[in-house]
Each structure stands twice: as structure tokens, then as C-alpha cells.
A and B are shown apart, each in its own frame.
Chain A
Amino acid sequence: MKRTAQRLPHARVDPGKTLRFRFDGRTYEGVAGDSLASALLANGVGVVGRSFKLHRPRGVFGCGKEEANALVQLESGGYSEPNARATLVPLYEGLEARGQNAWPNVRSDVFGALGVFKRLLPASFYYKTFMWPNWQRWEGLVRRLAGLGIAPTSADPQKYLKQNVHADVVVVGAGRSGLEAALATSRDPACRVLLIDEQEEPGGGLLASPAAADRSWLEEALREVAARDNITLLCRTTVNGYYDNNVLAALERLSNHHGPAAGGAVRERFWRIFAGRVVLATGAIERPLVFPNNDRPGIMLASAVREYCHRYGLTLGERIVFYTNNDSAWRTALELVDAGVPVVAIIDLRPAVESELRQRAREAGIALHLGTVVTDTRGRSGLRRLVLHRLAGPGDALEAPAGTLDCDVLAMSGGWTPTVHLYSQSGGLLAYRDSDACFVPERAHQAVTAVGRANGEFAAPLNLQPQWLTPGVSAEHQWVDFQYDVTASDIQLAARENFVSVEHVKRYTTNGMSVDQGKTSNVNGLGILALATGRPIPEVGTTRFRPPYHPTSLGAYAGIELGALYTPFQQLPAHAAHVAAGALFEDYGAWQRPACYPRPGEEEEAAMAREARAVRSAVGLLDYSPLGKLEVRGPDAREFLNRMYLNNIRTLEVGAARYGLMLNEAGIVIDDGVVVCLARDHFLLHTTSGGATTIHQHLEEWLQCEWTDLEVIVGNATTQWATLMLSGPKARAVLAQLDGDIDVSREAFGHMQYREGRLLGQPCRILRASFTGEVSFEISVPANCGLSLWEALMQAGEPHGIVPFGIETLMLLRTEKGYPHVGADTDGNTMPQDLGWGGAVANKPDDFVGRRSLSQPVGSDPGRFQFTGLELLEADARTVSGAHILTADGESTAGYVTSAFHSPNLNRTVALGIVADARDRQGEEVTVFYAGQRQRARLIKPGVYDPAGEALNG
């Protein structure tokens, strides 16, 4: 490969602006406008990578997204990016890259000798070899020997965004066809057009055209695009996926071209595009030819040689030879000669070529070898010589040796593959076109049109004669998939082993897998499969294209949903007070709630114990605001709730509250809470904390779909009110200190009663219910007053020893009391009778949701998991939620511990569980199993603290 200091004129680079970069430890210089690949080529760097399996030296082979060899590890640390295609990396000052899968470097890789053992490492080698004792035993070794880049281990300091956009027309590809489509559709000023191109600048194939007419057409078209307000042009943006409902996903590279110097700028933006109609102007990719040792550095696609010349001003060799089966390469060769590039010969496997092309080539001084194939290549780390044979006829055996030909670059063209990936992803059908030996769009499944070369519309006839592999010579070293080291013999092996489906062959051989997803290997691979299985190509078919079209950063998928924004969070009205009090926050659903308030140096369990003792002996304050608050109103509200709850709501009096269980249609308990009667036709439902939205939807479903005759309106008032729970024997004394108009005395305000009034100048609702077993007041004020009420109660409670307590402490307290927590002490099978509510079901005269299901046989099956208390029998024994209760034979599970805490008030473990037939087995001993340990426990009635409930009325 030639080192090129001077660039050809008219190239789209700025030779006056030098950029320094490093590759594999050496420093080089490129110029502004270079890609990393063009800069490496300009410096004569022939070997840029090592192959995946055999570590064969590989050079730049393409010029864009089709590149299969020049994969590099870009930058380091958090900026490190594996498998970056050097052809797609714009050069920037200070760029650092390394070749992959090589040690110590790609020039002298110690594993390069593996290529000698090619015959021992065919397709399926892994599957057949690493069976004993298991794959994991071998994996470490294989991963070291084979692979691509290395995933970064440091956090990525760069930023990523996601963006949605709607457009009437989305044009993918801003080459000639795409620009024409965008300009035509945008004539209607109301039509919003989004024009997307993956290159650093728009123009597509025109960027590599030397024709003055093409360049001026492009300039004029871009001027027109810029002038139209209804066209949005996105460059450096690759459309990666095409989904249902004309939704496309695209990745925009915003600051990659600055590298780490971009600092905190947004690196990439992930677009979700909602399109009315899509125009795919994605062009076509040239195919390589398959012949022995066709992977040697210096062997490139003809289109790439052309682009490096016209776009980057590079003359890649001193003796460039073309090898083709179609006319397009001839035109490229002639064009390059015009630009002063030394093309010395054209080898064409076709016996005859159009006379005008032959004539022009001869006039240009190009030697012609028709009806000839390349049967081998020579050169240690770069191409030096070709071995030629004459063909007897199309696809026939070789006729006779045709000598050798010295060259340093071979520009090959096996035809063109329209870029139909997105069309296929959209559900569109492809058809094989025999004349051009390629798949083209046939029938769209969505509102999409392919245009230009993506639709198989080539500027001039190809007159192509397919040759899927070189006949008459071993297929062993005829590479098909350069990236994954798949050769023609691998595909033949798969066929011999009876793989018929192209999808199976792909996976068995890995042809078309890896990061390029077979952009250059798919069609050749299925051509070889067709030959090997004796079927025509349309019958073999092609693999289904799947997103992403091009590798996408995981950071782009994550966007800003990282760290604290990983998932939405909800905060309590008195959040600031909890922070100030040193709360240990945990997530309960989306709510950030204090689990407890550890003092400096205090462990969580110690904090919970201290808080629990304070609630039992004095008073505690809990932010209970997420408690569900649904207001149900209307002339039929009472009837409605009586149908929704297992409990009798008909008899609930104004100002009174009642515990209620709610079931679904299957009779499963889905919620419990307290129903308060505010007025004859007005009820307040306190659902489980965090369950308000779900229960609201449940109620609405019955109202809107089943009982449309009931005049009921439901409103969710959960966050309108801040609710603080004041609990403990001194709760009443604390509350009485605050200025309000509600009489909180024992005589005036009993358990399960509700009052409305004013407290410290604000509207106030107070419910006397208890989840701690102590006297409790659930005090609600408008949410904006929640912080102020918290401070007022803490101040008023100070003389009484008030402590703030958290949710975990509440759970401890209610476990001491044996109160079930729906969702924690129930599972997806729990029916009311499993909780001891069978009597209430029998006594309720009216029907309610779930009742019918309760009478099914499953409801009385033996072995149902039923709610129970658990007493651990060994002294100082501990257990945890999730521990198993074993069957009598100790072999299987007959229940679980659902809540377990160390009780500071009883100085032993208190536990609840759901255990098979527990209600009939009270007093029996069972085995608790957790983490390999077995413990003895007894089934007891839930609620070991204050079983008589005297504290409730204190």
C-alpha cells in the first residue's frame, strides 16, 4: 500500500489543515475531512485489524458502513468504543485508536499463526469441540483467542438524549434519489419532510463523483433544501430500525467527530420517528468476489477505491488491478484513469464485454484479461501478486493457467446489493432479480417506497454474470464473511451436514452475523448455499433483516434515564423535613419514603427498634400521605361500594369507618383499607398506600363497563391531602395541643370514627384507625400544608418524647399485632377465607364482586396457603420474609414466611406467613427453611402483642 503525501485535486478534504492521531501506538498525520480509514490509507498503513477467528491480517476493504475489516478500539477509559469502523470515524485532532483481536499489535500478532490451522477450525468448530466437560470450561481461553473489541469497564462520561419527532414524509438517504424525493415532496409547504443521512455531510454517492455536473447539482439541491422551511435535514444520523406503524429509530452522532475533547457535550441523540410515509433512498452496497485468499490487505471494493480517490484524494497504489463480473467496475476503472490513478489491468470473468468499454480501456492503456479468474493472491502483509486462470465457460471448471499479475491494490466488484435492510424490517417483501443477481423491494407492507439504487435502479446496465465462488479450486480459503472468518467451504460444510434453511446456515456458520450483519456477505453466502444444495436462489431465499441496521451505543438507548432518573420517583409533602431528620429513604413503589430515621452511628434495625419502642410507650409520627384516598359520590354510591367490598357497607353510618376487603372477579383479595362514610351519598376509601390508582381503575371499570346504570362519580384525592399518622399512648395529648375545632377526647372521638374540621387554620380530616395497634390519628390537611403540620406536630410532641418513624417500623409494629398487609402477607391465590374472613362472606346477604368464585371447589381445596402467625421455637432464632415452610417430609414447600421482624417490645422474633391449611393446624410445629438452615416453628394465631387490643382505646 502506497503512502500518499499529496492529495489529488478536487477532493473533499482540506490538505492545509493537518490533524495528528495515533493508531496502535504510532503517531500519524491526516487532514481535515479524512476518515480514520482514509488517514490510515494515506499513511500507507496496510494492516488495520486481525480477523475474528484466525487472526489473519486485514486491511481497509470498504469506505463506509460495509467495512468488515477495519474495526478499531477507539479511545480509552470511559470514552472507549469497541468495533468502531475506521471508515465511519471522522478524523479529529488527538484521535487514539488501536487494532482489535491482536497482541501486541495488528502488525505482529502472536496469534497470527492460527491461520495455518484453518482446516482444523471450520464452521461449527466450537459446537463440536467444546462439549466436554462443558463450554464454560473453555470459554475463557476461546474469548482470549477470538473476538472483536473490548467492552469498556469505566462509566461513560458522555451524555445521550432521546428525541421524538413526527413527519409527513421521512426520506432516508440524502444522495441524489433522496434529495430529489425530499425536494419533490416538500413542494407542498404543509408537508413536513425529514431528510436523514448517515454520512458527515449530505450527498451520498455524489460525494465520490468527480463529475462537475454532479457536484454542481448537489450544491444546487442543498441550497434548495436549506431554503425550504418544511425540510429538516439530519446528517450524521443512521436509521437503525423500522417498526410497525411507520415508526423508525435513528441515531444521530452529535459530537463523536470531536472525540473526548467534546467534554460534556451531548454525544448522541436517539430519535424515534413517527412517519406518515417513508422514502428509502439508501443506495446499494458493492459485493466482493469470492476467490482464494481474497482477504489479503490491499484487496478492496472497487467503489471504495473510487471513493478514496475522488472524495479523499488518495491514489492507493502504484499498480491497481480491477477484478469484476459486471460493467460498473469498468466505468470506475476508466474514471480513475482519468483522475490519474495507475490502473494497469482489468480482469473480468466474463468471456465478452461490451465493445465500447473494451475500446476505451485499451485506449487508457489498461491490459484486459477476459474470461479469466483470480485463483490465488500472494503477499505477506499486503497484496503483491495475483495468480490467474482462464475459465472454460460461465461457472465452469478452470481451463488453463493464465500466469500471474503483479499489483498492490485489487479493486473488485461482484455486483451490487440494494440496501433493502429497512425495507425488509418494515415487513416489505423482497424479490430476487436474476439479471442483476440481487434482491429488490417487491411489495410494501407499510407506507414506504424505495427509490434509486435501493430499489435496484442502476444508472447503467450491469450486464452481470454471477460467480458465487471460484470453481476448480479449493473453497477452503475463499472468504465470504471477512468479519467472522467464514469461507465458502464453511457454507458447503453446513450444506453437507444437511442444513437447508438459510437462517440455520447463517447461525451454524455465523455468515452474516457480527457487527456488519452481512452487508457484503449475505448474497454471496446464499449463492454458495444455492449451488451446494442444488436449488435456485429464490428458493433458498434471504435471511430476515432485523434492527439495528448498524450498531448503536447502549448509552443512546438509556438516554437520560440513568442514576436518579432511572425511573420516576414521587416525594412526600414533608420530604424536606424527612431529609433534615436524617431519614433512610427507600422506594415503595415510586414513592421515596423514610424506612426509618437512624441517628448517627445507628444501624437500621436499632433505629427501627428505638422507634417501635417509642410508639408503644409514648408517641410517634409517620408520613402516611401515600395512603389512597378515593372519593365516591352519588345516589348509588352506597350500593356500588356494597357490591365492591366483601364487607357490608349498607349499614355504615355517617362519620363512621369500616375495614374492608376488596376482591377481583376470581375471588382473590386485591386490596384492603378503610371505608369512611362522609355523608349519606359520599364515601372516602382509604386504599393500600400506593394502590390508589389501581383501585381507582378497578372501580371505573365496573362503573363504565358493567354497572352503567349506577349514578356514581369517583375522584382520586390521594395527593390533595397530606396525611400524618400520630400513633401511641400519648398521641391524643399531642394532638390536643394544636389549635383546632375537633374534640379529640376519648369520649368524643372513638376508634374507627372520622371527623372533619379545622386545624391550625386549615381544613382538616381526621380518622381514628390503627395499623400499629396503638391509639392513632390519621390527620389529613391540604398537601401544601403537610410540611408545616409535620413541624407543628413534632414541636407539640417534643415534651411527650415524640419520634418520627418510618415504614419499616410501621411494618414491625403491625407484624407484632398480626395485621395482614395485602400484597405482602397475601399472594395471587389468597381468598378471604384464607385470611379468616369466611364468616363475613357467609353472613353478607348481598352479592359482591368475587363472591361467585368463592363458592367454587378451589376455594375449599386442601392445602390452600392460609394466613397465620409463626412462633420460632429456638431461643434467639431469626428468620426472614421469603423463608420456606416445609412439608412434613421436608421435601417440598408448604408455605412461606411473609413478614418477619425482631420485636423490641417482646424481645423475640415475630413472624407471619401463609402456610398450607394453617387455620386448621394451629399449634402444630413446622420446619422453616432458609439459606440452607432449618428451624422449628409453631403455627399460632396472628398478633402476639396486646392480643386483647386494649391499647387501641387507650
Chain B
Amino acid sequence: MAKLDRATPLAGTGLERAGLCVAENTGLGLIRLQAFHRRPGAVEELTARLGIEPPGPGSLRSERDRQWFWSAPGEWLIAIPAGTEDAVLGALRAQLDGLFVVLSAITDSQVALDITGEAVREVLARGSTVDFHPASFGAGNCVLTRFAGVPVMLASPGRGEQILLFADRSLARYLLDWFEAASIDC
């Protein structure tokens, strides 16, 4: 064997029902940006260097082919096309040179699920106490929450009723099984 093969947590399996589809999104690369936000002015300096303002709590922001998700104070998840992690990391490191930030590729640690269908919000509300009504959780919102008993990030990127779920890769099978059981009436 000359090279190691890559296999995503669900290896392309998913769930398809009339009212709900859950599909592994294998096209995303993920980068975590952590800034030392306790130092006064650190986030402002970061903003100035990036040329964009990273999104605030509970929100996401799309910029070119990057999506920024707020994930903690001074911390963001950046979704990019899979396979471009090294290039984006290099570019960001150059851009932020001299600032105390930590950039890590975390693509392999996560599973990304695209959840679609007319029952998507109803099913999501079976796993979390977040208010998923479009008036409260619409395009541009993201939330870190306990879902089906495990920590996840849920985001509404704004493409119709599509919801994006990020969770630890080790939970991928559990979450898919959970969606299958929770959507039995969909």
C-alpha cells in the first residue's frame, strides 16, 4: 500500500425519507481559528488583518468560498472546500503573522450533515430545546447546543430549509441512527 485511503465517518451513507434527508457533506474542509481574545483589542486587530468582521455569537457569515461560524468567544469554525485546508491555513497564517492566534485543520475530527426536507425543523426540535421556528432560527443563524444528548453545532446557511450539523466524527453513526428513529413518521 503506497498511500493511506481517506474514509469519512459515514462513508457516504445517509438517510432518505419523504420528509427528511440526512446526508454526509464530504465536500467541506474545516479550520478552527482561536484568538487570544482576553487581550484588549485582540479581536479588533484580528478583524483589521482579515479585512472582514468575523461573525458574532449565534451567527455565521459567508465570504467568497468560506463560511465563518462563531463557535466560542474568540473562536471560529471556517468551512472551506475539502482539500484546500493547507492552502487556506498558509494564507491565513501569512495574513495573521505576528498575532497570537492558533489555526488548526480539524476536518477529520468532525462529521458534517446536510439535513433537508419539509420536516427538518420538526425533527430537529425532537433533539434539542432550541427554538427552530424560522423567526428564531433563520438564515445566518448558528447555535452550539446539546442535540440528541451530544454537543453539536447547527447552522442555517440560508439555502431553503437546509440545516448544517457539525458534530464530533465519533458520533456520526449515533446521530444517523438517531435521525432514523426520530423521523419514523416523516
Contacts and interface: CB of A to CB of B under 8 A. Distances in A.
Interface of A: 159, 161-166, 190, 192, 264-266, 272, 274, 559-561, 564-565, 567-573, 575, 591, 631, 633-635, 708, 711, 713, 715, 717-721, 739, 759-762, 781-785, 787-789, 791-792, 795
Contact of A708 (B9, B38, B109, B168): B38
Nearest to B184: A159
B1 to A, nearest CB: 5
Contact of B170 (A192, A591, A782, A784): A591
Chain A binding surface, main DSSP class: mixed
Given A165-B125, A166-B133, A634 B100 contact: yes
A713 B2 contact: no
Given A571-B173, A715-B32, A761-B4, 9 more contacts: A560-B178, A568-B174, A572-B170, A634-B36, A708-B38, A715-B34, A719-B108, A783-B109, A792-B4
A587 to B, nearest CB: 12
B128 interface: yes
A274 B177 contact: no
Contact of B36 (A711, A717, A782): A711
Contacts of B125: 163-165
Given A715-B32, A715-B102, A720-B106, A785 B126 contact: no
A565 B171 contact: no
A274 B5 contact: no
A573 B100 contact: no
Interface string B24-44: 000000001010101100000
B168 A719 contact: yes
Contacts of A266: 184-185
A89 to B, nearest CB: 22
A573 to B, nearest CB: 7
A571 B168 CA distance: 10
B131 A161 contact: no
A739 B3 CA distance: 8
Residue among A163, A567, A721, A789 with most chain B CB within 10 A: A163
B131 A166 contact: yes
A631 B105 CA distance: 13
A631 B131 contact: no
A266 B182 CA distance: 10
Given A163-B122, A565-B177, A567-B149, A785 B4 contact: yes
Interface string B66-80: 000000000000000
Interface in B129-180: 129-131, 133, 135-136, 148-150, 168-174, 177-178
B171 A568 contact: yes
Nearest to A264: B184
Contact of A784 (B7, B34, B181): B7
A272 B129 contact: yes
A266 B184 CA distance: 8
A631 B104 contact: yes
Given A788-B6, A792-B4, A570 B38 contact: no
A792 B174 CA distance: 27
Interface residues of B, number: 49
B32 to A, nearest CB: 7
Contact of A573 (B38, B169, B181): B169
A760 B32 contact: no
Interface string B1-20: 11111111100000000000
A585 to B, nearest CB: 13
Interface in B92-126: 100-102, 104-109, 122, 125-126
Nearest to B124: A164
29 contacts: A161-B126, A161-B182, A163-B126, A164-B128, A190-B135, A192-B135, A266-B185, A274-B129, A560-B182, A565-B178, A568-B149, A568-B171, A569-B174, A571-B174, A633-B102, A711-B100, A713-B36, A713-B100, A713-B102, A715-B34, A715-B104, A760-B2, A761-B3, A761-B4, A782-B107, A784-B7, A787-B5, A787-B7, A788-B6
Contacts of B32: 715
Nearest to A192: B133
A718 B109 CA distance: 8
Give the most central of A164, A633, A634: most B CB within 10 Å.
A164
Given A163-B125, A192-B133, A711-B36, A571 B104 contact: no
B3 A760 contact: yes
Nearest to A712: B36
B6 A739 contact: no
Contact of A785 (B2, B6, B184): B6
B87 to A, nearest CB: 15
B180 to A, nearest CB: 9
Contacts of A721: 108
A783 B108 contact: yes
A769 B72 CA distance: 34
Nearest to B106: A720
Contact of A719 (B105, B150, B170, B185): B170
A174 to B, nearest CB: 21
A645 B168 CA distance: 28
Given A785-B5, A792-B1, A570 B104 contact: no
A760 B1 CA distance: 8
A190 B109 CA distance: 40
Contact of A717 (B109, B129, B171, B172): B109
Contacts of A264: 184
A570 B148 CA distance: 13
Contacts of B100: 634-635, 711, 713
Contacts of A711: 36, 39, 100
A782 B108 contact: yes
Contacts of B6: 782, 784-785, 788
B30 to A, nearest CB: 10
Contacts of B2: 739, 760-761
A571 B176 CA distance: 12
A631 B9 CA distance: 23
A213 to B, nearest CB: 37
Given A192-B133, A634-B100, A708-B38, A760 B108 contact: no
Nearest to A716: B109
Contacts of A785: 4-7, 108
Contacts of B8: 784
A570 B108 contact: no
Contacts of B133: 166, 192
A788 B122 contact: no
A188 to B, nearest CB: 13
Contact of A570 (B5, B105, B107, B171): B171
Given A783-B169, A784-B7, A568 B129 contact: no
Contacts of B7: 784-785, 787-788
B171 A781 contact: no
Given A571-B170, A715-B102, A788-B6, A161 B109 contact: no
A564 B108 contact: no
B136 to A, nearest CB: 7
A789 B126 contact: no
Contacts of B107: 782, 784
Contacts of B149: 561, 567-568
B108 A784 contact: yes
Contacts of B136: 166
A244 B108 CA distance: 41
Contacts of A739: 2
Contacts of A561: 149
Given A560-B178, A568-B149, A161 B185 contact: yes
